[in-house]
Amino acid sequence: MLDFVQQLVSGVALGCVYGLIALGFVLVYKATEVVNFAQGDLMMLGGFFAFTFIGMMGLNYWIGFAGAVAAMALFGMLAERVVVRPILGYPQFSIIMATIGLGYFLRSIAGMIWGTDDLKIETPFSQGVLRIGSLVLAYDKLSVIAATMILCTLLWLFFNKTTLGTAMRASSENMLAAYYMGIPVKRVVSIVWAISEAVATCAGVLLAPITFIHSNVGLVLGLKAFPAAVLGGFGSIPGAVVGGVLIGVIESMAGFYLPEGWKDVAPYIVLLTVLLLKPEGLFGHHVRKKV
Amino acid sequence: MRFLFKTDYEDDIRLFPHSGYIVSYGILLALLLIAPHMLSSYLMSQLVFVCIYATVGVALLILTGFTGQASLGHAAFLAIGAYTAAYLQKYNVPFPVYFLAAGALTGLIGAMVGFPALRLTGIYLVIATISFALIVEEILARWESVTNGNEGMRVKTLSLLGVTVPRDSPTFYYLCLAVLVLTIVGSLNLLRSPTGRAFVAIRDSETAARSMGVNVALYKVKSFAISAAITGLAGVLFAHKLSFISPEMFTLQLSIEFIIVILIGGAFSLHGAVLGAIFIVMIDPFLTYLKDDMPGIIAGIAATFGAGPATAGHIKSTVAAFASLNGLKGAIYGIIIVLFVLFEPLGLYGRWLKIKLFFQLFPLYKRATFKRQKIYVKSERNR
């Protein structure tokens, strides 16, 4: 029983990581209907920025963190301006390919600049564990869970309660109509990319003590976060976190109870099954087609 | 400018609309047939890869370009074809049998993937095919009694009707070329048949196709099966060409490369598959050329513009250092994809059509002819 609880908790922690990355996917998708395959790589870049500020320039952890978030928000706006804006409104597949290309580019450039070694950021939560009875929880994992919950709540409130959030949802439904209603669609899209990359950077920096930072971390985690977002139904913020936690728990349970090799495929098998039964994911909306 | 007068449907769907086609493709085929006597063995080897990639490209075009079902899992189909060949070869099954068996098995698995994919569209289909490919990759690594796990499998030299065909012989090239040509001709025939028309109808509008009486589910599964089967056949040739296969060759990276093939070639015509394959395969020799010769050339240019020998040497070493950076290939890949999506969405073949039209209409060409339509409404975007 204790094993089970321990696995469950570490699965939830892992799942929050996926959820945090999936949040970035969902944000961009929710506001612009763009699926950003480069999200994982942007997260990786955020981690490297934080490493540069904290590890190389020796800034305080929190200042470095904030600096990296700000830098990546600007970078997200730049990426949106250069790569995404010219092809908004074209078939989804064009945009997917463009972001895959962006991901390739960022991975290689990061490898060139920061090398291919695993890098580590010293954080206030790197050491120490929390003991509840005989349960052992590492602080770095708890920090991820806490951050995911806070960010998820903030973003959900932002999308559903603020004017800007409503504008974002409107421009997702129909960009042209939103524009006619006086919503500055281009600026809205730009802002949502900035927010999304800021969230990605939070994920990257919080992950740094757990997974380390290297140029392929974005690809590896991105491929896990993607099913998380799909499982939650691509446009739902709580869905992304629930999907992430599900994937994380499945992965950690499969790793513990099933023979070797199941750990990596179990999430995808579950994903395929869910898609078979519910093609829009668990929290997705069915979109009606017009002819 | 030539005007083709069509008087019936047969005229409209002809393989060669006019005699010019026969002449130009005849010349191309003749050049390809004498290529082994003209090109170096390295370029011949690259040409074999072009044939294999182009075959996969044609398969992917049928599914993605003509039926509108995106797939990022074609490396898995290639792997299944390659592994079937390697496995059956161990039991001395002759080449024609395992070649066809690989195609049949891959086609069957393709149909099985097609069924769950029926209800999925857009991004959900993409992620489902990625999941399928990852699961296949893991099975290949774990099912050690059949696939020999991560150690990989050796593929014996191909033997056809009692004659051994080494992987770098002209005969192997002719075999790959024959498979490619037959695939292209077969696909052209498929696409002008009622089946092909149904594929295109599904791509353009599923609802409209359904209301015209097209059995959408049946044709989607057919498209998946045909595409997978052709990829499986290419997989057999791929295995023989490499003579060694292991799971880490068939990763997501390879699936993305196949998508890049049709993206860069142009996803609306079979020409695109071939042009894209040439592009993807030739990028490696090009990068090697950059690495070896560019520093000298740039230093030479600098010297002619009056740079001293010290400066020229410095430029040479800088360029050499840049060209031998580790991730350069990935960066160039990324830039190429983004640039093609942004500026040449119709691919290389689209560019060729534009150039042709420019000269045909000479002073009257207008750029808007090839302009794409933007759609800003969600419900219409999710077709």
Q: Which residue of A has its CA nearest to B208?
A: A291
Q: How far is A127 from chain B (nearest CA, A)?
A: 34
Which residues are CB-neighbours of A66 under 8 A, at least 6 positions away? none
Contact residues on chain B for A109, CB-CB shorter than 8 A: 327, 331
pLDDT tens column, B174-204 = 989 999 999 999 999 998 899 999 999 988 8
Per-residue pLDDT tens over the stretch B283-325: 878 877 777 777 777 777 877 777 777 777 777 777 777 766 6
Q: Is A132 helix (H, G, I), strand (E, B) or coil?
A: strand
Residue A289: per-residue pLDDT: 56
Q: E-strand spans in chain B?
A: 153-154, 158-160, 163-165, 244-245
What are the tens digits of pLDDT across the range B36-76?
888 888 888 889 999 999 999 999 999 988 888 888 889 99
- Between chains, do A97 and B259 touch, taking CB under 8 Å as contact? yes
Q: Which of A268-272, B243-247, B283-287 bottoms out in mean pLDDT, i.e. has the lowest? A: B283-287
ipTM of this complex: 0.84
Whether A68 and A205 have beta carbons less than 8 Å apart is answered as yes
pLDDT score at B383: 46
Q: Which chain B residues are within 8 Å of A112, Cβ to Cβ?
A: 325-328, 331
Contact (CB<8Å) A101/B331: no
- How far is it, in rounded angstroms, from Cα B157 to Cα B42? 19
Query: Do the Cβ atoms of A100 and B122 come within 8 Å?
Result: no
Beta carbons of A99 and A36 less than 8 angstroms apart: yes
Determine contact: A180 vs chain B, CB below 8 A. Answer: no
CB contact under 8 A, B377 and A174: yes
- Contact predicate A216/A107, CB 8 Å: yes
CB B245 within 8 A of CB B155: yes
Residues 306-365 of B with CB under 8 A from A: 325-331, 333-338, 341-342, 345
A233: left (phi over 0), alpha (psi -120 to 50) or beta: left
Dihedral sign for Cα A190, A192, A194, A200, please: negative
> Which residues of chain A neighbour B123 with C-beta distances below 8 Å?
35, 92, 96, 230, 234
The H-or-E segment that residue A137 falls in is strand A135-138
- What DSSP character marks residue B383? -
| Helix/strand/coil for A58 | coil
Write B14-17 long-range contacts (CB < 8 A, 24+).
B15/B185, B15/B188, B15/B189, B15/B192
Burial class (CB in 10 A: 0-12, 13-18, 19+), A238: middle
User: Is the predicted pLDDT of residue B251 greater than 90, yes or no?
Assistant: no
User: What whole-number distance in Å separates Cα of residue B235 and Cα of residue B52?
Assistant: 8
Task: Report whether pLDDT(A154) > 80.
Answer: yes
For residue B123, count CB atoms less than 10 angstroms from its CB and return exposed for 0-12, middle for 13-18, buried for 19 or more: buried
Return phi, psi of residue B168, to 5°.
-110, 20
In this predicted model, what pLDDT tens digit does every residue of A222-265 receive, in sequence order?
A: 888 888 888 887 777 888 888 888 888 888 888 888 777 777 78
Q: Residue A284: pLDDT above 70?
A: no
Query: How many Cβ contacts (< 8 angstroms) between chains A and B?
Result: 162
- A286: contact with B, CB 8 A cutoff: no
Q: Chain A partners of B134 at a C-beta cutoff of 8 Å?
A: 223, 264-265, 268
Provide the chain A residues 197-236 that lie in CB contact (below 8 A) with chain B: 215, 223, 226-227, 230, 234
Lowest mean pLDDT among A14-23, A203-212, B243-252: A203-212
Residue B380 pLDDT > 70, yes or no? no
Q: Does A277 touch chain B (CB under 8 A)?
A: no
